[in-house]
Amino acid sequence: MLTMRPVRRKKKKNNNSTYFSCCWFWVPRVKSGYFWPGFFLMIAMEIEFLAIPVIRVVGVTAGILTSISTVPQLLKIVKDKKANDVSISFLLILIAGLILWIWYACAKHDFILLFANAFSAIINFMVLFFKYLFRHNS
């Protein structure tokens, strides 16, 4: 006989948030108690790396957008073969800030922050290189 009973789990605290789950499952009734074939599904749902929190999606999206923000400028410099409009002090301050973000991400073991800022630093070093390369073009 199939009966419907609530499966309640206690609050589980994570570093960033608190989860509470209460689900209803169809559970076949056995003489000795409840037999629940979806037990392994529950274990899979409880594994934290399978459940992507919204804040992680926001972080990845922000990292991608800020990382690719300098790519159009780099493409314009390569296409026009001039970089007079790019400020050298802006690039040096930005690269210094990115290096500090990379250092911070390494210390915190935050790979999203690390990869986003490393990619941004590479793109900005390329802009700096082309600024130096095309310094005599007007």
pLDDT of amino acid 9: 53
Only one residue has tokens 């250092």, namely 103
Those residues with Cβ within 8 angstroms of residue 101's Cβ, 6 or more apart along the chain or in another chain: 113, 117
Residue 116 structural domain: 68-133
CA distance 34 to 40: 15
Residues in the chain where the model's pLDDT stays below 70: 1-52, 138
CATH of the domain at 116: 1.20.1280.290
Q: What is the CA radius of gyration of the chain?
A: 26
Is the same domain home to 86 and 125?
yes
Domain count of the fold of the chain: 2
pLDDT of amino acid 132: 92
Q: Is residue 98 part of a domain?
A: yes
Those residues with Cβ within 8 angstroms of residue 22's Cβ, 6 or more apart along the chain or in another chain: 6, 7, 8, 9
pLDDT of amino acid 5: 52
CA distances from 115 to 9, 90, 118 (A): 36, 22, 5
Is the same domain home to 95 and 127?
yes
